[in-house]
Chains A and B, each alone.
Chain A
Amino acid sequence: MTSTLLVLVAIMATVVWWLLRQTVNVRPWIAGRPAEGVSGDGALPLPPVKVGLGVFLAVATSLFALLISAYFMRMEGADWTTLTVPKGLWLNTAALMLSSVAMQWTRVAARRGRIDGVRIGLIAGGVFTFGFLAGQLWVWRQLNASGYFVAANPANAFFYLLTALHGLHLLGGLWVWGKTTAKAARGAEVGAVRLSVELCTTYWHYLLLVWLILFALLLSTPPRQSSCPPDTFAICGVTK
């Protein structure tokens, strides 16, 4: 559970640090008038959706960190075999990277007020993302055809689980992407889509980062150091 702990300690430390900064040296019992022109004292200078996305990314981080912890703990089992990583994954990774680059390019275009650039960037980003998802499905089929379905061994089970959850997160992003692209295609001003573009870009970068970590995890060879003999009622091997 160490990796989860580290991630959650980092998140909680940020929360606690921020809250303490807001609350230390404040004397709440003294009444006083609020400063002029400020609504919502102490609110972050961001639109609520951006804060919402930030909170959601923290939740997703907790989810993936827990899965990675589970992966490491399960790796210590005696029956662990390394996943033979399908070559197609390299291609998919490249597609996801390109989609992230396209989204970044869209963000720059949106900042500069070029709606044409926004349209092209959004479509390119979407095409690469769909390419990535199609590629992942193809890899699933390939694995399945060569006899490694989800129950074949624990590494494969994790592979299907991790890619499925990552893919579902991307699909959620594509829903927002679809709404934004439709808006831009219908001839909306840059101002009307800028916020959505920024949210999508952040989300795409985040999911690329998660994918790179998961990919590295799948590539890494496990240390075989379990003290559990095979075919026991394996209660050992975890809390060492």
Chain B
Amino acid sequence: MSYVAHDESVFVRPAEVEEPELYHPKTFIGKYIWSQDAKVIGVQYSITAIAVGLVALVLSGIMRLQLGFPHTFSFIDPSNYLQFVTMHGMIMVIYLLTALFLGGFGNYLIPLMIGARDMVFPYVNMISYWIYLFAVLLLMASFFVPGGSTGAGWTLYPPQAILEGTPGVHMGIILMLVSLAFFIIGFTMGGLNYVVTVLQARTRGMTLMRLPLTIWGIFMATILALLAFPALFVSAIMMTLDQTLGTSFFVPALVSRGEHLDYSGGSPILFQHLFWFFGHPEVYIVALPAFGIVSDLIAVHARKNIFGYRMMVWAIVAIGGLSFIVWAHHMYVSGMNPYFGFFFAATTLIIAVPTALKVYNWVLTLWRGNIHLTVPMLFAIGFIFTFVNGGLTGLFLGNVPIDLPLSKTMFVVAHFHMVMAVSPILVVFGAIYHWYPKVTGRMLNDSMGKFHFWVTFLGTYAIYFPMHYLGFLGVPRRYYAVENLDFIPQSAQSLNVAITIAALIVGAVQLVFLYNLVWSYFKGKPSGDNPWQATTLEWQTAHTPPTHGNFGSTLPVVYRWAYDYSVPGVEADFIPQNQPPIKRAGSSEEA
């Protein structure tokens, strides 16, 4: 496959890497079950995460049924409702999004995109997946134990999380905390791999500044996760001790149901600090990979180099750094010192600057690009709209005086779902449509994909846009039923009905996506090696899907960045990263 004639004198021998000691599986089980191949582990992570995500999707449907049609469904009582809210939130944020972006996309894409044969610690990587699966099973088990799963809300605030009256106070909360601890141990094993692989296993010529932005996003998000997850780990252990052994880390002296409890002096605020010290970086742990992936989708499908690559990299690094000093904006209502609130409001607004830079750069990349409205591109553009909307309401909530009245209303639910739920999920879909051909060798069906996009994109707007108005009206979040409140007009209920109908439609259409995944695996159009004509290394492999070891006998050598699309004076509209420089008169190609 030769796009441009090039001078043999600039050819560079491939890197002299010693024969890699790859684990060579012989049996089906060794190849697909107990696999140490990062690609297989990535697919295992993705399938598990999507499966558990479907459970959470069903839970959200049940919640919407209750809110839209109260007193209709006898199987939803107030306790169940709280349990569904809790499990929906925790599964979506941690067990779906974090696991899918870092465990799924990270494992599949990092070695392929940086030109490595595998992760640097394949055995640890395999263990990481199995611990994750164990954590998921523990969490699912909590549905079936006496008392059911915990209903403490996804933030698990003590003391209510471990006091009588909250659903699942005996077994449910313990299973949740232990499951989280295992998730974190498993993630740390995977995370070590992602960071060290990006640092140490890049192929020749793949400097840090030639990394595709996808890798930058995953890399920085992993650093955040490695440093932030310990906060959740510590709080999970301390709360487990409070619940089982009666320590008083988080629970103050209090009277519950007329009884003085044995606790004294614990600090619920301490838990909130620890939780949000993890919780806010968590937002960026999910967002940064999405930022990176969307940058690559836009560049590939608009056939244009990404606008301001260096700025994009620095923005990712800056967001990563700043994300550690904004956590307390989740705690404005905890009665904090006003100067504290001022500090965190300031940092919250500052972090919007690099984020906005990224949005401008995406839009400027699209500007006068050769935009192909493929399904991945549709999802990428959908992401920009949704993310800007959700981000703008974040500026409102970042200010203490606006947050205080809105904090307990549906406005927060709307903001949070726009920016942290729908936006990353749109990127997940875009990424799956983009990389599915590499994983399976077949294209996903285009018509089903477009149908899936339009219903999902417009549908999520129909769900969350009106929800902002419910918030302004003062409709509280977390409530099982909102009735007999004078300040809430009757029309709010009509809006709730409409939102529920939209949510059910969007939920049902995800079945089309699942059907597409299965159907295309057998009947999809064969994709060839590089269906999107992309420059990055994963599309230049000798086989599709790539075999174990990724690149055959020699690793590719990288000569250029990942964004050589529509280079002036070059006939082909893209130049792969492993294509040597072109010698032309008056050309600036060779440095």
Residues of A that sit less than 8 Å from B by CB: 1, 4-5, 8-9, 11-13, 15-16, 19-20, 22-23, 26, 28-34, 36-44, 46, 48-49, 51-52, 55-56, 58-59, 62-63, 66-67, 69-70, 73-74, 77-80, 149-151, 154, 157, 161, 165, 230-235, 237-240
Interface string of B267-301 (1 = CB under 8 A from A): 11110011001000000000000000000000000
Tell me, yes or no, whether B588 is within 8 Å of chain A by CB: yes
Interface contact B324-A8, CB-CB below 8 Å: yes
Query: What is the chain B residue whose CB lies nearest that of A152?
Result: B247
Contacts of B561 in A (CB 8 A): 28-29, 31
Interface contact B265-A78, CB-CB below 8 Å: yes
| 58-114 of chain B: CB within 8 A of chain A | none
Contacts of B238 in A (CB 8 A): 70, 161
Interface contact A28-B277, CB-CB below 8 Å: no
Interface contact A230-B264, CB-CB below 8 Å: yes
Interface contact B581-A43, CB-CB below 8 Å: no
Given the known inter-chain contacts A34-B557, A73-B267, please indicate yes or no for A19 contacting B334, CB distance below 8 A. no
A49 to B: closest C-beta gap in Å: 8
Tell me, yes or no, whether B203 is within 8 Å of chain A by CB: yes
State which of A8, A230, A234 has its C-beta within 8 Å of the C-beta of B227: A8
B571 to A: closest C-beta gap in Å: 16
Interface contact B227-A79, CB-CB below 8 Å: no
B507 to A: closest C-beta gap in Å: 37
| 497-541 of chain B: CB within 8 A of chain A | none
State which of B17, B227, B274, B335 has its C-beta within 8 Å of the C-beta of A235: B335
Interface contact A161-B241, CB-CB below 8 Å: yes
State which of B209, B317, B559 has its C-beta within 8 Å of the C-beta of A34: B559
Contacts of B245 in A (CB 8 A): 149-151
A206 to B416 Cα, complex, angstroms: 40
State which of A13, A44, A70, A79 has its C-beta within 8 Å of the C-beta of B274: A70
State which of A43, A80, A154, A231 has its C-beta within 8 Å of the C-beta of B247: A154
Interface contact A58-B559, CB-CB below 8 Å: no
Interface string of B196-222 (1 = CB under 8 A from A): 100111111111111000000000000
B220 to A: closest C-beta gap in Å: 9
Query: What is the chain A residue whose CB lies nearest that of B324?
Result: A8
B201 to A: closest C-beta gap in Å: 6
A45 to B: closest C-beta gap in Å: 10
State which of B204, B277, B337 has its C-beta within 8 Å of the C-beta of A41: B204
Interface contact B273-A73, CB-CB below 8 Å: yes
B429 to A: closest C-beta gap in Å: 29
A26 to B169 Cα, complex, angstroms: 55
Interface string of B541-575 (1 = CB under 8 A from A): 00000000000000001111101100000000001
Query: What is the chain A residue whose CB lies nearest that of B17?
Result: A39
Contacts of A58 in B (CB 8 A): 226-227
Tell me, yes or no, whether B246 is within 8 Å of chain A by CB: yes
Among B42-50, B305-313, B476-484, the stretch that binds chain A is: B305-313
State which of B205, B267, B274, B588 has its C-beta within 8 Å of the C-beta of A30: B588
B347 to A: closest C-beta gap in Å: 12
Interface contact A74-B340, CB-CB below 8 Å: no
Tell me, yes or no, whether B591 is within 8 Å of chain A by CB: yes
Interface contact B336-A43, CB-CB below 8 Å: no
Tell me, yes or no, whether B458 is within 8 Å of chain A by CB: no
Contacts of A31 in B (CB 8 A): 559-561, 564, 575, 581, 589-591
Interface contact A233-B252, CB-CB below 8 Å: yes
A-B contact count, CB below 8 Å? 228
Interface contact B273-A151, CB-CB below 8 Å: no
Contacts of A237 in B (CB 8 A): 267
Given the known inter-chain contacts A1-B277, A150-B241, A157-B247, please indicate yes or no for A239 contacting B269, CB distance below 8 A. yes
A232 to B151 Cα, complex, angstroms: 26
A159 to B560 Cα, complex, angstroms: 55
- 19 A-B contact pairs sorted by A residue (CB < 8 Å): A1-B277, A15-B321, A23-B208, A28-B561, A32-B581, A33-B580, A34-B12, A38-B15, A41-B204, A51-B199, A52-B192, A52-B196, A63-B234, A150-B241, A151-B247, A157-B247, A230-B253, A234-B252, A239-B340
Interface string of B172-208 (1 = CB under 8 A from A): 0000000000000000100110011001111111111
A26 to B210 Cα, complex, angstroms: 10
Contacts of B317 in A (CB 8 A): 15-16, 19-20
Interface contact B590-A79, CB-CB below 8 Å: no
Given the known inter-chain contacts A151-B248, A154-B247, A161-B241, please indicate yes or no for A33 contacting B202, CB distance below 8 A. no
B266 to A: closest C-beta gap in Å: 7
Interface contact A77-B234, CB-CB below 8 Å: no
Interface contact B559-A32, CB-CB below 8 Å: yes
Interface contact A67-B234, CB-CB below 8 Å: yes
Query: What is the chain B residue whose CB lies nearest that of A41?
Result: B207
Interface pairs A-B: 10 shortest CB-CB: A79-B265, A34-B205, A32-B591, A31-B560, A63-B230, A39-B15, A157-B247, A234-B252, A77-B265, A28-B209
Tell me, yes or no, whether B320 is within 8 Å of chain A by CB: yes
Tell me, yes or no, whether B16 is within 8 Å of chain A by CB: yes
Given the known inter-chain contacts A23-B310, A31-B559, A48-B196, please indicate yes or no for A42 contacting B208, CB distance below 8 A. yes
Interface contact A234-B203, CB-CB below 8 Å: no
Interface contact B249-A48, CB-CB below 8 Å: no
Given the known inter-chain contacts A28-B210, A34-B205, A154-B249, please indicate yes or no for A63 contacting B233, CB distance below 8 A. yes
B529 to A: closest C-beta gap in Å: 22
Tell me, yes or no, whether B223 is within 8 Å of chain A by CB: yes
B579 to A: closest C-beta gap in Å: 8
Tell me, yes or no, whether B367 is within 8 Å of chain A by CB: no
Interface contact A41-B253, CB-CB below 8 Å: no
Query: What is the chain A residue whose CB lies nearest that of B226?
Result: A59
Query: What is the chain A residue whose CB lies nearest that of B316?
Result: A19
A45 to B29 Cα, complex, angstroms: 37
A66 to B325 Cα, complex, angstroms: 14
| Given A29-B561, A55-B191, 10 extra CB contacts under 8 A | A28-B209, A34-B205, A39-B16, A43-B199, A48-B121, A55-B226, A150-B245, A151-B246, A154-B247, A234-B267
Contacts of A150 in B (CB 8 A): 241, 245, 247
| 1-30 of chain B: CB within 8 A of chain A | 10, 12-13, 15-17
Interface contact B266-A23, CB-CB below 8 Å: no
A23 to B312 Cα, complex, angstroms: 12
Most chain B CB neighbours (cut-off 10 Å) among A16, A40, A41, A239: A40
State which of A20, A28, A29, A39 has its C-beta within 8 Å of the C-beta of B203: A39
Query: What is the chain A residue whose CB lies nearest that of B560?
Result: A31
Given the known inter-chain contacts A63-B234, A232-B253, A233-B254, please indicate yes or no for A238 contacting B273, CB distance below 8 A. yes
Most chain A CB neighbours (cut-off 10 Å) among B227, B559, B561: B227
Contacts of B13 in A (CB 8 A): 36
Contacts of B195 in A (CB 8 A): 55
Query: What is the chain B residue whose CB lies nearest that of A15?
Result: B223
Interface contact A33-B335, CB-CB below 8 Å: no
Query: What is the chain B residue whose CB lies nearest that of A56?
Result: B192
Tell me, yes or no, whether B432 is within 8 Å of chain A by CB: no
